[in-house]
Structure 1
Amino acid sequence: MLSITRWPAVVAAAAAIVTTGTACGAYQQRRQAAVPATSSVASSPRDLSAQDKTWLAQAHQGNVAEIEAGQLAQDKSGSPQIQSEAATLVTDHTQLDQAVVSTAERFQVGLPGEPTADQAAQQEQLGAITGAAFDNQFIAYQISGHEQALAGTNTEVAQGSDPTVRALARQAVPVIQRHLAMLKQGRH
């Protein structure tokens, strides 16, 4: 498979072949029909709105934070229920993040390398506590984080400009809603 960075060269080579080829009317019609399909494959950062880029970055940071917090809860929580919920969070956010990263790569959008400062501070605080205090704080952070993620994702669904990014956001909504319901139902 060709990398995104090689697509411009492929498109240029195809254009050179086409322009030096036959001038037959039928061939010209096929060429014109093929150009839009080719250009839609080679995406670039300018193709995405600020909203789309922001959502991809925030979704990635949120996923990374949820994965890290979930792994911490699997190790630190004494509650089998919280450990199970944490495993679900890790699995689901890993899958979501793979889709986010893949989409960002397709559009050549750079993603932050780590969670936000607030997310890192929450992680640090969770690392410093144990027992029931850990469990309660973990659930509180998860509910708050998922509420923020749901709001941002709903904004992307409503206001995003790229159909691919909006579709990804639409796919994330039920996962985030399911997590919120799980976390609120099992409030400890």
Structure 2
Amino acid sequence: MRAIRMTSIAALVVAVSVTSVAPSVAAPVSDQDAMFVKAVHQGNLAEIAAGQDAQENATTSCVRRVGAVLVRDHGKLDADVKTLARKLDLTLPAGPTREQEQELAAVRAKAGSPAYDAAWLKTQDAAHTKTLAMIDHELRTGRNAEVKAAARAARPVVAMHLDMVRGGTCHDVREPATVKAGSGGQFAAASDASLTAGAVGLAGGGILAGLGAAWLIRGRRRSAQDR
């Protein structure tokens, strides 16, 4: 009976250790996740280019300030996207989409006139509305936890940008409470937390499995002695 009891305890411990390891396994990168990462990268490149162009060609200080914010924030966000892409072994496009390039060229054709500012704001309103919808779609349907964490971290920044250009009207620049991106940022922090949790789970599982094996051996020895 003692041998049976010790075997049952050991089996239970091993089962618990396996369960503790399972959550640390990252979800696979789906086609949706991969497309999202690549699209966000291209969007960042397009916004950086648009922001730089506004700083050079806008006729109002408000549009120039918003342009500077886009360059700063999308630069930080894209640094994190590149880090995430390397971790997930995803190849990123070299530049914005052809449509994004054509839109900027059409706005640039109005450089130096009030029409430029109006066209720039209208284009940015549409672009950030589209990006926000893309982020929300990833949060609903994405599978990879790290990609979804990236979307969640970028959302308040994109929403803030949209507020600055909403309706094709330039609004005063409002700084976010924190924009933790670039050099690791929120994306990497979420990834590191996931990896740390996985390491803890593996370590805990190994200890429990070792204890279970020791208890099993001890139980068998006692059983033999009883005989």
Please state which band the TM-score falls in when normalised by the shorter chain: 0.7 to 0.9
Which of 101, 108, 130 is equivalent to 1:127? 108
Q: Secondary structure at the match of 2:59?
A: coil
Q: Which residue is equivalent to 2:160?
A: 178
Q: Give the aligned partner of residue 10 of structure 1.
A: none
Whole-angstrom CA distance in 1 between matches of 2:114 and 2:94: 31
Tell whether 2:45 aligns with 1:64: yes
- Are 2:101 and 1:112 aligned? no
Deviation track 1:56-79 (CA, whole Å, cap 9, x = no partner) reads 011000000000000000000121
CA RMSD of aligned residues (A): 2.2
Q: Which amino acid aligns with 1:155?
A: H
* Residue 189 (structure 2) aligns with: none
Aligned pairs for 1:73-84 within 5 A? 73-84=54-65
- Aligned counterparts of 1:186 and 1:116: Cα–Cα separation in 2: 22
The within-5 A match list for 1:148-167 is: 148-167=130-149
1:89 to 67, 70, 83: 70
Gaps in structure 1 of 5+ consecutive residues: 1-28
Q: 2:83 aligns with which of 102, 111, 115?
A: 102
The alpha-carbon deviation at position 185 of structure 1 amounts to: 7.3
Q: What is the aligned length?
A: 152
Per-residue deviation, 1:184: 1.9
The runs of at least 4 consecutive aligned structure 1 residues that moved more than 3 Å come to none
1:9 corresponds to which residue? none
Partner in structure 2 of residue 139 of structure 1? 121
Whether contact under 8 Å (1:47, 1:107) holds in the other structure is no
3-state secondary structure, aligned to 2:138: helix
Higher relative contact order (CA 8 A, sep 6+): 2
Separation in structure 2 between the aligned mates of residue 75 and residue 101 of structure 1, nearest angstrom: 27
Normalising by structure 2, we get a TM-score of 0.62
Query: Which structure has the larger Rg?
Result: 2
Read off the aligned partner of 2:50 and give its amino acid letter. Answer: A
Question: Does structure 2 conserve the Cα–Cα contact (< 8 Å) formed by 1:156 and 1:166?
Answer: yes
- After superposition, the Cα gap between the structure-2 partners of 1:64 and 1:161, relative to the gap in structure 1 and judged at 3 Å, is same
Please, which runs of 5 or more residues in structure 2 have no aligned partner?
1-13, 171-227
Letter in 2 for 1:71: Q
User: Deviations 1:143-169 (Å, cap 9, x if unpaired)?
Assistant: 000000000011111111011100010
- Opposite residue 36 of structure 2, the aligned amino acid is W
Q: Which residue of 1 aligns with 2:181?
A: none
Alpha-carbon offset, residue 102 of structure 1? 0.8
**Aligned-pair identity (%):** 34
The Cα shift of 1:127 comes to 2.1
Q: Deviations over 1:81-117 (max 9, x none)?
A: 1000110111111111111111011111011111111
